[in-house]
Amino acid sequence: VVSKQQLYLDVCATTPLRLEAQQAMAEAQQQAWANPSSLHGFGLAAAECLERSREQLAQAAGTTAEAVLFCSGATESVNLALLGAAACLKPGRLLISAVEHPAVAMAAQQLRHRGWQLETIPVDRQGFVDLDRLQVLLAPPTRLVSVIWAQSEIGAVQPIQAIGSLCRQAGVLFHTDAVQWAPHGLIGFDQLPVDLLSFTAHKLGGPRGIGVLLRRPGVALAPLLGGGSQENGLRSGTEPVPLIAGFAAALTAAARESADQGRAIKSQRDQLLKALLELPGKLRLELSGPDPAVQPRLPHHISLVVRDGSGVPVPGRALVRALWQQGIAASSGSACRSGGDPLGPSAILLALGYPAAEAAAGLRLSLGPGLSGDQIATIPEALLEAVERISTSASGPSA
Ligand SMILES: Cc1ncc(COP(=O)(O)O)c(C=O)c1O
């Protein structure tokens, strides 16, 4: 595709590799390429790099190396957390929020087939979990809870401290999917009332194919796979040391810059959101998820339900393709969809109470660093043009 400009507004899907991660990976690939379980000098060098990276990541996440369990990504981390913890408990009730990523939703379904009773914690129109309902649902036989920290599609940042405290008071194990929070805020794991926490490198400038599960000491976990007993027997498979080194470097850089850069990106996001919502009548845009002026929302995140001038919802997937013709990389929601139907309405917007046609008209813009004010200023007009192009092609050339 040839275009004047190419703007990447999809960092919630994945991020380009940070320089710090690239350098750490290149160095590890050169000096720590061997199998870290080997007992010769090459292996010892790899093991040393692995443990140094583990320490580094632990420090950036506010915990100690003992809590860190590396695996292939957040999907595996979430599955290990939920299936692994549940295997060590008597089947009971599992609570998940109505706005989970499919990784959590599908692991929960698996547990349902293993005798667990699955219950969904409802959310309000902005996507926040109902704490009163949670408190009621925490009664026995609830044994396990999973709530996403920051929602990828609608940007809602849940009150994780309050949710974790309720779980703790009830003596119930609590897992959070922190994938979208980790690039934007400090994790501070040891200060959190959270037992298990998942995140992944590729959303914060690290490589794809590496994720982590943070585990509070003493939380029992059964491995998903049998094999060479790496990671204290909880995750077999030779550790990908260069990926781990890149992950640790990326998280350290993200944690260092999150406050300053968060402020800068938030101000660009606020500017863009204002311009979009002020667009004249040819387009009717509604912010989905929380209003960042009054409620906690990811600082770089805009999600919209898009309707044309007559109020007809515009299919998000068509809009994303039309925007890319103008060089704008956006998303129609999450890159992954619940329920196995990538073409269907968003399960997240449905959970917020949107009707099906509107739940298929979502658009997500997630801003990364390096966008100029001038570039951002071109987006509202590009969106107008994209919707016009879709309307014209829908009415057909012979009409
Ligand atoms: C909230 C959330 N959880 C989990 C995942 C899965 O992460 P990974 O791609 O590392 O498996 C993603 C990625 O799309 C996500 O956004």
Write the DSSP string, 124-148: -TTS-B-HHHHHHHTSTTEEEEEEE
- 3-state class (DSSP) for residue 178: coil
Nearest CA to ligand 1 atom 14: 13
3-state secondary structure 294-360: CCCECCCEEEEEEEECCCCECCHHHHHHHHHCCCEECECCCCCCHHHCCCCCCHHHHHCCCCHHHHC
The residue whose two tokens read 């009150």 is 159
Nearest CA to ligand 1 atom 16: 152
Query: Which of 71, 88, 167, 336 is labelled catalytic?
Result: 336
Residues in the chain: 399
How far does the centroid of ligand 1 lie from the alpha carbon of residue 148, in Å? 11
What does pTM read for this prediction? 0.95
Q: Give the pLDDT of residue 370.
A: 87
How far does the centroid of ligand 1 lie from the alpha carbon of residue 179, in Å? 6
How far does the centroid of ligand 1 lie from the alpha carbon of residue 204, in Å? 12
How far does the centroid of ligand 1 lie from the alpha carbon of residue 311, in Å? 33
Nearest ligand 1 atom to the CA of 201 is 10
Alpha-carbon separation of residue 75 from 16, 104, 186 (angstroms): 19, 8, 21
Nearest ligand 1 atom to the CA of 75 is 11
Q: How confident is the model at residue 392 (pLDDT cuts 50, 70, 90)?
A: confident
Q: How far apart are CA 12 and CA 330, in angstroms?
A: 10
CA angle 71, 116, 191 (to 5 degrees): 50
- Per the prediction, the chain carries an average pLDDT of 93
Nearest CA to ligand 1 atom 13: 13
Using a 6 Å CB cutoff, which residues line ligand 1?
Answer: 73-75, 101, 103, 148, 152, 177, 179-180, 200, 211, 335-336
Nearest CA to ligand 1 atom 15: 179
Q: How far apart are CA 192 and CA 160, in angstroms?
A: 8
pLDDT tens digits for range 133-173: 999 999 999 999 999 999 999 999 999 999 999 999 999 99
Q: Is the pLDDT of residue 388 over 70?
A: yes
Instruction: Report which of residues 396 and 170 the model is more confident about.
Output: 170
Handedness of CA 52, 54, 58, 60 (dihedral sign): positive
Please, what's the b/e burial string for 337-365 (b: 16 or more CB within 10 A of its CB; e: otherwise)? bbeeeeeebbbbbbbbebeeebbbbbbbb
pLDDT-wise least confident of 11-25, 108-122, 246-260, 265-279? 246-260
Q: How confident is the model at residue 280 (pLDDT cuts 50, 70, 90)?
A: confident
Q: Is the pLDDT of residue 393 over 60?
A: yes
Mutate to test the pocket of ligand 1, among 15, 152, 197, 298 (most ligand atoms within 8 A of CB): 152
Q: What is the dihedral of CA 129, 131, 133, 137, to 10 degrees?
A: 100
Q: Is the pLDDT of residue 1 over 70?
A: no
Q: How far apart are CA 194 and CA 17, in angstroms?
A: 29
Nearest CA to ligand 1 atom 8: 74
pLDDT tens digits for range 236-270: 999 999 999 999 999 999 998 866 777 889 999 99
Q: How far apart are CA 20 and CA 12, in angstroms?
A: 20
Other Cβ atoms within 10 Å of 3 Cβ, number: 11
User: Taking residues 195-202, what's their average pLDDT?
Assistant: 98
How far does the centroid of ligand 1 lie from the alpha carbon of residue 325, in Å? 27
Check if 12 is active-site: no
Q: Is the pLDDT of residue 3 over 60?
A: no
Mutate to test the pocket of ligand 1, among 11, 203, 212 (most ligand atoms within 8 A of CB): 203
